[in-house]
Each structure stands twice: as C-alpha cells, then as structure tokens.
Structure 1
Amino acid sequence: MDVITSASPSNRLLDSLPEDERLCFLADCETVDLEFGRMVAQPGESMTHALFPLDCLISLIATLESGGRLEVAMAGNEGMVGISLMLGAQKSSLQALAQGAGQVLCIPSSCFQDHLKRSPELEVVMKRYLNVLMSQISRSAVCAHFHGVEARLARWLLMTHDRTRGDEMHITHEFLSGMLGVRRAGVTKAAKALQSRGLIDYQRGRITVLERPGLDEASCNCYIADREIYARMREQVA
C-alpha cells in the first residue's frame, strides 16, 4: 500500500470527497503539529476532536488495567482517529499515540458530527473507513494469537513503512514491546533474526528497512489482507 505519495501532505479520506464538500470540511479544521510520543486519546476520556493525519502516524492501542497494551490498528494519511464519533460515542475506547511526528488536521467533535449530518458523501466515506478499521482490529487480534513474533514484527514494520517517509524508523525496544504485546527479549530476538537475513538494520533506538521484498516474505499473510481491504476501499471512493 503506497500511502504517502505526494510532496504536499494531504489526507486521502478527505481527498476522496467532492471538492466543495472537502473545502467546506477543511474550513473547520486546524492543522496541528504532533511530536513523537504524544498521547491524543485515552480510554474513557471524552474525544474533543477528530484527527486526520497528513504526514504523521498514530497507533491505536488496547490497554489493560494491569498495564498491558497491544496495538490493534494504525492510522496514517489513509485514515483518521475518532471514527466512533460517527456512531455517537463521545468517549474513546482505545489509546491513541503519535508513533511518528508530523501534522494532523484537527476538527472539533461536534463540528465533525454536524458535517456528517449535512454531507451524505462524508458519511459514506467514514462508514467505509469504519469497515476497514474494524477489519484491521480483528486481524490484529487473530495475528497476535496465531502468528510468531518475527512474522508479526515484519508485518508491523511494513505497515509503518507504508505510512512514513523514508526507510529509517526511530523506535525503542520498549515501544515495540508495547505495540506487539510481547516481552522486550522477544522483540530483540525477532529483530536480530530479521537483521541476520539482511532485511533490516537494527541499532539501539533505530530500525532501517533494507530489503522490502524480503520483509514481505517474512511477514504473515495478515499484511496482504490489510493491503487488500484498503485497496477495495480506495476503489470504492475513487
């Protein structure tokens, strides 16, 4: 999935709207800079805004009271954060964390919901994205249960690489451990295995993708399934 393609950052969901609808929506948005590690939503807290990433990456994370967590979806410029607002839910059920620094379009929740009421085109686009997001969340749950850490790490790196500029990612052991829901030792073992095959360069706090086709082969088939459902959505909104 070639998510980021243009020099001028934009959001693909909004780009799929008719021009007059898109401009009307953008008039109520504010461009906000997100730094790496910024928390933009917490479970149980009210969602004051809907976010549409331009050139940043946001992880959606399920958390446990014990402190455990697992990334269940991610949103780059092909998606948004706050989709449950279209269902009338005002509180977040997931944690949303800026995994990659960049900019987002930010619109107040009430304003977003008003646009949904006035724009059938926006409602259709959001429903299609909701279907994609539900598929990604369910796929992540199955993947975490049935697939090995090495294959899951390859999938995660591919999904992140799709949504970022460049091959280098600044990621810590602790961060990857939380995203994959495994111990740090498991992350280290999996990363070293991918590195030994020449697919990535793995240094402390940094991973560089060296051989993308090899990562495709190392990943589980969940990555292909993710790409296919995004492709179907793009065909529908084209």
Structure 2
Amino acid sequence: MQSSIPGPMTNHLIDSLPSQDRVSFIADCEAVDLVFGEVLTEPGGQIQHVHFPLDCFISLIASLSDSERLEVAMVGSEGMYGMPLILGLDESPLRALVQGAGRALRMPAVVFCRHLEQRPALEALLKRYLYVLMQQLTRVAACTHFHQVEARLARWLLMTQDRAHSDRLHLTHEFLAMMLGVRRAGITLAAMSLQGRQLISYHRGDITVLDRAGLIEAACGCYAADRSIYRRVITEGGALAGTS
C-alpha cells in the first residue's frame, strides 16, 4: 500500500546523507505501509525493492526447514533491507518478514543501484552499515550458542522495543520461540522469570516493558555490543564528503 512521503524523516541512514544527496534520494522513494506478517522476499528470491523503515521493522530469518528457523538480524529505522545489492547481487539469502507494521520508504532495486553508482557518500555509508550487519550476524551465531534463553529473550525484547518505539509489544510464545530458535517451553520459563522480576508484564501475547534499565541488566552483553558498533561505525563514523 502506497502513501504520501511522511515527515519528518525518521530513517537514520537517509538522515545521515549529505543534504543534496538526501533530497535527490528521497525524490526517488515512495512511502509504503508494511503489514505485519508480510513477506518481502523468500530465501533465493530476487530483491526487487530496497526498504528503509520509518516506524516499522523487518526480521531477517535463516531457514533450514519449515520447522527450523532463526532470526539472525532485525532492521528498523536505523537501517535498510536490500544489502546484497551493494555487493552487486540481487538475490536474498534470508527470509524478510515484516515483524512490526508501519511505514517505510521504498525504492526499486534498479534505481537504488543507479544512486549507488552516482553518489559516493551513499555507497560509503552503506558499506559501513554492511560492516555493522556483518558484526551483528556474527554475534547472533555466538549468542545463540553460548548465552542462556532468558538473557537472549531480554536482549530481543530490547531490540524490538527500540524499533517499535513503544513499551507495548504483541508477541506470542510461538513467535518468540521461532525468532530465538528454542522450544516454546523455554520461552515460557524465560518470560515468567522476567515477569517475576517485574521487568515485563505478559498476558496472552501482550508484553509491556516495565523496567528498561533492569531489562538491560538482564540481557546478555550482545545488546550493548550491537548498539556500540552501530554508534562507532555509523553515528560517530566520521563526516561524509559534502555533508551540510
């Protein structure tokens, strides 16, 4: 579903572009409403559009089989979906699932590639973002193997809260189990523990973050590490040529 370009702009990557590049880039975007549960691309599918979330967020899911799935990255207003295009590839290695409904800026892949060729500042910024994603993907693999479910759940809830821009989330045990790659019973125990510590409240899929500071303490160090790498490489990564 298409809509008018919203304002103010709330995608950090686009906001980080030099003003002239930013205006030209936005002119070739369209604003779309993404629906919860919408699949943007299946593994092996062609990436026809890039998406820059504004107030929605997208899960990137590795699938070994219909019953073996794991979320390996999450994209919200801090990033974009369609990164293989930067490498000259238009095939998605992951399933892109809309996890939080909302608005995004969308651009056809062919137009995006033209902007990459013509705008060095855009290419430099997105290469840095690609590095951030690589770091996050690596950390997810280690986190899934070494860290306890409760700490991973706390981390995942914080990541979701950041991108939903809300303390209230709707997430079933089945969905959380799929996202974290664990059994439903493990999610139930972890959620009960976080609720018992009064960090969250949980009822029939409705989760409310009650104590964000406490949830950060309960989370594994991967949450802080992800935010740190983004801040160091993207936010504090040095001015782009021509920024004004």
Question: TM-score band, normalised by the shorter chain?
Answer: over 0.9
- Once residues 57 and 117 of structure 1 are traced to their aligned partners in structure 2, the CA distance between those partners, rounded to angstroms, is 27
- Once residues 90 and 177 of structure 1 are traced to their aligned partners in structure 2, the CA distance between those partners, rounded to angstroms, is 30
Q: Deviations over 1:51-78 (max 9, x none)?
A: 1001101111111135311111111111
- Once residues 8 and 186 of structure 1 are traced to their aligned partners in structure 2, the CA distance between those partners, rounded to angstroms, is 41
**Alignment pair present for 1:79 and 2:106:** no
1:99 alignment partner, SS class:
strand
Tell me the equivalent position of 1:147: 147
2:186 alignment partner, SS class:
helix
Tell me the equivalent position of 1:234: 235
CA contact (8 A) 1:55 1:102 kept: yes
Runs of at least 4 residues of structure 1 off by over 3 A?
Answer: none
Tell me the equivalent position of 2:20: 20
**Shift in Å, 1:161:** 1.1
Q: After the TM superposition, which of the residue ranges 102-111 and 63-72 deviates more from structure 2?
A: 63-72
- Gaps spanning 5+ residues in structure 2: where? 1-6, 240-244
- Once residues 195 and 8 of structure 2 are traced to their aligned partners in structure 1, the CA distance between those partners, rounded to angstroms, is 33
Q: After the TM superposition, which of the residue ranges 89-98 and 57-66 deviates more from structure 2?
A: 57-66
Q: Deviations over 1:173-203 (max 9, x none)?
A: 1110111000111111100000000000011
Q: Deviations over 1:126-156 (max 9, x none)?
A: 0010001111111111100000100000000
Tell me the equivalent position of 1:54: 54
- Once residues 98 and 51 of structure 2 are traced to their aligned partners in structure 1, the CA distance between those partners, rounded to angstroms, is 11
Q: Deviations over 1:24-82 (max 9, x none)?
A: 11111111101111111110110100110011011111111353111111111110000
Q: After the TM superposition, which of the residue ranges 37-46 and 58-67 deviates more from structure 2?
A: 58-67
- Once residues 19 and 8 of structure 2 are traced to their aligned partners in structure 1, the CA distance between those partners, rounded to angstroms, is 17
Tell me the equivalent position of 1:106: 106
Tell me the equivalent position of 1:214: 214
Residue identity opposite 2:43 in structure 1: P
TM-score by length of 1: 0.95
- Once residues 181 and 201 of structure 2 are traced to their aligned partners in structure 1, the CA distance between those partners, rounded to angstroms, is 22
CA contact (8 A) 1:57 1:74 kept: yes
CA contact (8 A) 1:31 1:105 kept: yes
CA contact (8 A) 1:40 1:97 kept: yes
- Gaps spanning 5+ residues in structure 1: where? 1-6
TM-score by length of 2: 0.93
Tell me the equivalent position of 1:138: 138
Percent identity for Structure 1 against Structure 2? 58
2:105 alignment partner, SS class:
strand
CA contact (8 A) 2:9 2:15 kept: no
CA contact (8 A) 2:46 2:90 kept: yes
- Once residues 185 and 215 of structure 2 are traced to their aligned partners in structure 1, the CA distance between those partners, rounded to angstroms, is 21
Alignment RMSD (CA, Å): 1.1
- Once residues 106 and 23 of structure 1 are traced to their aligned partners in structure 2, the CA distance between those partners, rounded to angstroms, is 15
CA contact (8 A) 1:9 1:55 kept: no
Tell me the equivalent position of 2:37: 37
- Once residues 159 and 31 of structure 2 are traced to their aligned partners in structure 1, the CA distance between those partners, rounded to angstroms, is 24
Residue identity opposite 1:230 in structure 2: Y
Residue identity opposite 1:63 in structure 2: S
Q: After the TM superposition, which of the residue ranges 60-69 and 81-90 deviates more from structure 2?
A: 60-69
1:236 alignment partner, SS class:
coil
- Once residues 65 and 176 of structure 1 are traced to their aligned partners in structure 2, the CA distance between those partners, rounded to angstroms, is 17
